[in-house]
């Protein structure tokens, strides 16, 4: 059976760099989605979020600053991304700066926008107070209709701007309906793509989407904010988040980069599956291992993606070297899935999403209590719990309390004193017996109440 859903109208915020587009985007969205900084050109990729303006659901899109430059340069690629966003818009909010007045770039952009045949709302930002209202009046010369003076930073005039946007939107009856199967109505799987700078994360995202959605190039650090996009595979929808490269803390000294890293870490924590992209030509770096450990600490399942596989000569030697390094350094993620491919050519990329789905299924796995305790009895018989302070630890039974990641509780006496090596023994046994490779496994402990604890003789009788 097929259901129908409305395709949300698209509202795109566009303009030259540093006029406050991202600040306005965050203001309309009601929270901080986009990184904001005084440095021009912070936004490099278009960023979208579904929001409600008054009682109308829309897709709001922030874009990179529009500049004239060679298409091969970073700014040229940013402009192309912004033009693609405008092409998909139902309404364009053209944002200008009241303090700077009309600039030649603004005039050129306004002329280009008029030719696109889109409804345009002129937002005159940084128009605080009476001086801002006066500055807004000269914006009539654009020929785009009434200018709306706003202060995105302080919220002034935003209400009138929202009303103008709503009036310009197509009637709800005219919105397009899209068919989809009711088997796929569940929420999308949340997938984050992380890694060091220039590992090929954005190229991978474009390859998965089959389009040039995020800007790429040889320059390291092109992605500055986390960009969320959606795709669908055979099992349903996936929310894919491209993130900025993660470097060692000692090398992060600029405020903007700290904000980019913070956004990447937030995306990692919100994800269910994390794909850690590694430059296979460079091998596994210590920073890659640090990122993997962070993924494990956050309890997320992980897939290792070895990019640039096509340019290697001795692939088997590289694969073995990477495998050995992982097994030695990531014992807590033993059996982690590894996929090799070329994001640039697309060769092997088709293997990634199936690996992600398998890792996700393991992350959600639940083990029946009966089978779990039969294994547990055999495990403690084969290797008795150790002596601690001259007394044998007693572990009575085990149960799983949740998945995502698989979490088990051990009940017994003084279970909190179980040494780490014995905990690893149990975790490895769980992983091998119940086929849970690569996923984090959590052990918790519950001590049984000792009926003799308060008998007055001061002895703890187990």
State how far the Cα of 438 lies from the Cα of 135, in Å rounded to an integer. Answer: 60
Would you say 365 is a known binding-site residue?
no
Q: Which residues pair with 399 in a beta bridge?
A: 409
Q: Is 250 exposed, middle or buried (0-12, 13-18, 19+ CB in 10 A)?
A: exposed
Q: Has 309 been labeled as part of a binding site?
A: yes
What number of other Cβ atoms are within 10 A of residue 366's Cβ? 13
Which residue shows structure tokens 């393991």?
362
**Residue 20 assigned as binding residue:** yes
Q: Is 264 annotated as a binding residue?
A: no
Q: Is 299 annotated as a binding residue?
A: no
Residue 231 in marked binding region: no
125 annotated to a ligand binding site: yes
Residue 18 annotated as lining a ligand binding site:
yes
N-term to C-term CA, the chain? 60
Nearest-angstrom CA–CA distance, 150 and 136: 9
Does the annotation place 458 within a ligand binding site?
no
Q: Establish whether 196 is an annotated binding residue.
A: yes
Does residue 62 have a known ligand-binding role?
yes
126 is in an annotated binding site: yes
**Is residue 310 annotated as involved in ligand binding?**
yes
300 annotated ligand binder: no
Exposure string over 260-296, b if 16+ CB within 10 A, otherwise e: bbebbbebbeebbbbbbbbbbeeebbebbbebbebbb
Is 307 among the annotated ligand-binding positions?
A: yes
Q: Confirm if 212 and 240 have CB atoms less than 8 A apart.
A: no
For residues 370 and 146, what is the distance between their CA atoms, to the nearest angstrom? Answer: 71
What angle is formed at CA 248 by the lines to CA 242 and CA 254, rounded to 5 degrees?
80
Query: Strand ranges (DSSP E) for 217-309?
Result: 227-233, 236-242, 273-279, 301-307
The answer to the question of whether 112 is labelled as a binding residue is no
User: Is 128 marked as a binding-site residue?
Assistant: yes
Q: Is 198 annotated among the ligand-binding residues?
A: yes
Angle, alpha carbons 93-22-216 (nearest 5°): 100
Separation of alpha carbons 404 and 273, rounded Å? 10
Q: Is 426 annotated as a binding residue?
A: no
| 66 annotated as a binding-site residue | yes
Spell out the alpha helix ranges (H) of 210-285: 255-270
The contacts of residue 458 (CB under 8 Å, 6+ apart) are none
Q: Which residues pair with 124 in a beta bridge?
A: 96, 149
DSSP class of residue 128 equals -
Q: Is 127 annotated as a binding residue?
A: yes
Nearest CA to 23 among 128, 108, 144, 111? 128
Q: Is 202 annotated as a binding residue?
A: yes
Backbone angles phi, psi at 92, to 5 degrees: -110, 125
Q: Is 64 annotated as a binding residue?
A: yes
Annotated binding site: 15-22, 62-66, 125-128, 195-202, 242-246, 307-310
Annotated binding site for GTP: 15-22, 62-66, 125-128, 195-202, 242-246, 307-310
């Amino acid at each position: 059976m097929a259901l129908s859903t409305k395709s949300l109208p698209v509202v795109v915020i566009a303009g030259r760099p540093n006029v406050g587009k991202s600040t306005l985007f965050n203001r309309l969205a009601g929270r901080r989605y986009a990184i904001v900084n005084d440095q021009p050109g912070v936004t490099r990729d278009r960023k979208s979020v579904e929001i409600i303006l008054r009682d109308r659901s829309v897709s709001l899109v922030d874009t990179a600053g529009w500049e004239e430059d060679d298409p091969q340069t970073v700014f040229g690629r940013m402009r192309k991304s912004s033009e693609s966003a405008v092409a998909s818009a139902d309404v364009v909010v053209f944002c200008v700066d009241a303090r700077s007045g009309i600039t030649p770039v603004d005039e050129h952009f306004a002329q280009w926008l008029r030719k696109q045949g889109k409804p345009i709302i002129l937002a005159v930002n940084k128009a605080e107070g009476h001086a801002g209202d006066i500055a807004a009046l000269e914006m009539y010369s654009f020929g785009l209709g009434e200018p709306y003076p706003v202060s995105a930073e302080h919220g002034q005039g935003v209400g009138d701007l929202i009303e103008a946007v709503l009036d310009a939107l197509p009637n709800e009856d005219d919105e397009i309906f899209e068919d989809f199967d009711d088997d796929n109505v569940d929420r999308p799987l949340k997938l984050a793509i992380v890694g060091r700078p220039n590992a090929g994360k954005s190229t991978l995202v474009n390859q998965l989407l089959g389009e040039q959605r995020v800007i790429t190039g040889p320059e390291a650090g092109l992605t500055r904010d986390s960009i969320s996009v959606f795709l669908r595979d055979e099992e349903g929808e996936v929310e894919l988040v491209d993130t900025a490269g993660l470097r060692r803390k000692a090398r992060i000294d600029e405020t903007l980069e700290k904000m980019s890293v913070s956004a990447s870490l937030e995306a990692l924590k919100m994800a269910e599956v994390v794909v850690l992209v590694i430059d296979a030509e460079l091998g596994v770096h210590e920073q890659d291992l640090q990122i993997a450990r962070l993924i494990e600490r956050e309890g997320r399942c992980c897939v290792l993606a070895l990019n640039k596989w096509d340019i290697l000569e001795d692939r088997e030697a590289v694969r073995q070297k990477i495998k050995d390094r992982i097994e030695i350094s990531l014992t807590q993620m033993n059996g982690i899935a590894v996929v090799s491919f070329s994001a640039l050519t697309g060769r092997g990329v088709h293997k990634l999403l199936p690996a992600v789905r398998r890792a996700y299924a393991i992350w959600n796995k639940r083990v029946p209590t009966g089978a779990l305790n039969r294994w547990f009895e055999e495990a403690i018989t084969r290797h008795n719990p150790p002596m601690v302070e001259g007394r044998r630890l007693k572990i009575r039974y085990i149960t799983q309390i949740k998945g995502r990641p698989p979490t088990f509780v051990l009940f017994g006496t003084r279970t909190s004193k179980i040494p780490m090596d014995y905990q690893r023994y149990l975790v490895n046994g769980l992983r091998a017996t119940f086929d849970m490779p690569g996923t984090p496994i959590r052990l918790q402990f519950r001590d049984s109440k000792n009926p003799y604890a308060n008998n007055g003789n001061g002895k703890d009788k187990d």
